[in-house]
């Protein structure tokens, strides 16, 4: 396959774009240690949306499927269609769960701080979508080092990122999808190592 599109998502911003069926999306952390929040929609029906935890549960029937990594990404009920397949993954530790939000930033004692909510809002506007049209704030948080602690009743803790310079994850589109990416602007918690960085996107055909 060859790279047919390549662009940078500047730090602390979001962008949405279309990915045709059969093409491969490569999400790269050029400097390492940066979370990329990913939302996916059926490009022909925005009501059909990727559902994060649900995809982890369904994926385990066909191989790798946890909240930290999954082989297949499915759309929410009642659709339950295969949207994307993970074809390569250099990190292997992600988190199917919530993106950072306005309230989360306030609770982290940074009221008014930019969050993935702002990035997704900006990104989706171009396609006529608002966050209130999105079924769930749970996304595929690529490269996020989160941990569900069974010793503490399933408490979720976040550690510093483990991805290194140039690491990436790749997805093959199994339908035409609208992709929204947030270069997570959280420099308050540990998720981006307290330094926000850009994300590089490549599309291969
Ligand atoms: Zn975020």
- Alpha-carbon distance of 33 to 1, in angstroms, equals 27
Cβ–Cβ < 8 Å for 171, 25: yes
Query: What's the gap in Å between 107 CA and the centre of ligand 1?
Result: 14
Query: What's the gap in Å between 205 CA and the centre of ligand 1?
Result: 29
Give pLDDT, residue 132.
94
Query: What's the gap in Å between 14 CA and the centre of ligand 1?
Result: 10
Residue 54: in which H helix or E strand, if any?
Answer: helix 52-59
- Please state the domain extents for the chain: 3-204
Query: What's the gap in Å between 69 CA and the centre of ligand 1?
Result: 18
pLDDT, tens only, 97-136: 999 999 999 999 999 999 999 999 999 999 999 999 999 8
For 49, residues 6+ apart whose C-beta sits below 8 A from its C-beta are: 39, 40, 41, 42, 75, 76, 134, 135, 136
pLDDT, tens only, 1-42: 999 999 999 999 999 999 999 999 999 999 999 999 999 999
* Number of neighbouring beta carbons within 10 Å of residue 77: 9
**Residue range 180-202: mean pLDDT, rounded:** 97
How high is the mean pLDDT of the chain? 96
Query: What's the gap in Å between 122 CA and the centre of ligand 1?
Result: 14
How large a percentage of the chain has pLDDT more than 90? 98
Give pLDDT, residue 141.
98
Query: What's the gap in Å between 119 CA and the centre of ligand 1?
Result: 8
Query: What's the gap in Å between 147 CA and the centre of ligand 1?
Result: 16
Query: What's the gap in Å between 13 CA and the centre of ligand 1?
Result: 10
Query: What's the gap in Å between 120 CA and the centre of ligand 1?
Result: 10
pLDDT, tens only, 68-97: 999 999 999 999 999 999 999 999 999 999
How large a percentage of the chain has pLDDT more than 70? 100
Query: What's the gap in Å between 87 CA and the centre of ligand 1?
Result: 24
Q: Is the peptide bond before 61 cis (omega within 30 degrees of 0)?
A: no
pLDDT, tens only, 144-158: 999 999 999 999 999
Give pLDDT, residue 96.
96
Using alpha carbons, list the distances in angstroms from residue 24 to 98, 103, 121, 169.
24, 34, 25, 10
Query: What's the gap in Å between 160 CA and the centre of ligand 1?
Result: 14
Give pLDDT, residue 177.
98
């Amino acid at each position: 396959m060859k790279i047919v599109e390549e662009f940078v998502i500047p730090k602390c911003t979001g962008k949405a774009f279309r990915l045709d069926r059969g093409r491969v999306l490569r999400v790269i952390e050029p400097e390492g240690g940066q979370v990329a929040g990913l939302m996916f929609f059926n490009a022909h029906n925005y009501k059909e949306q990727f559902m994060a935890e649900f995809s982890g549960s369904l994926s385990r029937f066909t191989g790798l499927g946890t909240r930290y990594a999954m082989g297949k990404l499915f759309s929410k009920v009642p659709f339950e269609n295969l949207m994307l397949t993970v074809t390569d993954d250099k990190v292997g530790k992600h988190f199917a769960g919530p993106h950072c939000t306005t309230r989360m930033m306030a609770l982290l004692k940074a009221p008014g701080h930019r969050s993935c909510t702002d990035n997704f809002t900006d990104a989706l506007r171009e396609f006529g979508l608002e966050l209130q049209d999105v079924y769930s704030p749970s996304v595929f948080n690529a490269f996020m080092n989160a941990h569900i602690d069974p010793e503490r009743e399933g408490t979720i803790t976040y550690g510093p990122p483990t991805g290194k310079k140039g690491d990436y994850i790749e997805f093959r589109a199994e339908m035409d999808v609208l992709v929204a990416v947030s270069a997570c602007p959280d420099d308050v918690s540990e998720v981006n190592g307290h330094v926000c960085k850009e994300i590089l996107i490549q599309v291969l055909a």
